[in-house]
Amino acid sequence: MGKGGNSNEASENMAAWLLGINNLKIQPYKLPALGPNDVRVRMKAVGICGSDVHYLKTMSCGDYQVKEPMVIGHECAGIIEEVGSEVDYLVAGDRVALEPGIGCWRCNRCKEGSYNLCPDMKFFATPPIHGSLANQIVHPANLCFKLPDNMSLEEGAMCEPLSVGVYGCRRAEVGAETTVLIIGAGPIGLVTLLSAKAFGAPRIIVADVDEHRLSVAKSLGAYAVVQVSTNKDDVASEIEKLKKAMGKDIDVTLDCAGFEKTVSTAFGATRNGGKVCLIGMGHSIMTVPLTPAASREVDVLGVFRYKNTWEQCLEFISSGKIDVKPLITHRFGFSEEEVIEAFETSAKGGNAIKVMFNL
């Protein structure tokens, strides 16, 4: 048995299981044995991600297919109940944010530090790996980050989506002299806006089709917002609108949507020698003006999840450089009825940005 708790819990561990399309049930979830370098964590805050909704609606997301019942959820924070025998830097009672991806640490990608590209990555709620929308989970201690006293558990759970924005800005080398265009004002676009601000970008404009989300972007500090259409015939005119809104060259474009139209817009709006960072994954195959972008030496950067971002996210939030609280628009408990309602709320969009479970 580990330190700090009884591994035989009096109450049965329950989790939100994805059983089929639009079929979520709260059912028992037997935890794996606690390893010497693991911790057992009682979940307290779990957010809903767009990928969770994709799995619920289609049993797939990108190349990943749900082929058997799976526990959902990966944006999470909780309180440690028990630590493994070799864990000496965390104790029962510590509040922690969890990084959900476990690399193999044997492949070349892991060895060079790019563990997010590990071909054998085990990531919460990416089939066939179970997620974290449960009373308790077991996780490697080195992927659990102690929260500063001035941070809430909800803010800890927000480190996961925020990490996508932070890593995208790192990839694009956003800094104090970088003008930034963000395409897409959904949850990831908005955390990317907050990240670009924290990295010092002096002028950030945001484009989206939704007027409400643009108003949220403006309230979070966007220099300007531009409403665009879904019509590919509008790309040329919208590129000019975006350039005019920026008022100077666009150094970096972070595409948080990932559709054929948005990528085409990103290529055309970004200055000669600038960078386009592809964060969103809306379309897997698309026809875009790549040769004109290449002839202007526009660098195209891919982003897959994140790596080594949690410490920086904790610093940004605890220092006040980033305030994620306005993004949490809806809160639900952990009954089956509330879980179903929460996912429907997230799927509908509207004024919902981040839907959070309080367990």
| Residues facing 101 on adjacent strands | 123
Tens of pLDDT, residues 22-58: 999 999 999 999 999 999 999 999 999 999 999 999 9
pLDDT higher than 80, residue 288: yes
The pLDDT value given to residue 4: 61
What lies within 8 Å, CB to CB, of 233 at 6+ separation is none
The pLDDT value given to residue 173: 98
| H, E, C per residue of the chain | CCECCCCCCCCCCEEEEEEECCEEEEEECCCCCCCCCEEEEEEEEEECCHHHHHHHHHCEECCEECCCCEECCCEEEEEEEEECCCCCCCCCCCEEEECCEECCCCCHHHHCCCHHHCCCCEECCCCCCCCCCECEEEEEHHHEEECCCCCCHHHHHCHHHHHHHHHHHHHCCCCCCCEEEEECCCHHHHHHHHHHHHCCCCEEEEEECCHHHHHHHHHCCCCEEEECCCCHHHHHHHHHHHHHHHCCCCCEEEECCCCHHHHHHHHHHCCCCCEEEECCCCCCCCCCCHHHHHHCCCEEEECCCCCCCHHHHHHHHHHCCCCCHHHEEEEECCCHHHHHHHHHHHHHCCCCCEEEEEC
Class of residue 205 by CB neighbours under 10 A (exposed 0-12, middle 13-18, buried 19+): buried
The pLDDT value given to residue 63: 83
Instruction: Determine what percent of the chain is predicted with pLDDT higher than 90.
Output: 93
Tens of pLDDT, residues 294-331: 999 999 999 999 999 999 999 999 999 999 999 999 99
The pLDDT value given to residue 232: 94
The pLDDT value given to residue 9: 46
Work out the angle between the directed axes of helices 235-246 and 260-269 (0-180°, nearest 10).
50
Tens of pLDDT, residues 192-237: 999 999 999 999 999 999 999 999 999 999 999 999 999 999 999 9
Alpha carbon separation from 336 to 86, 133, 134, 280 (Å, rounded) = 36, 12, 12, 30
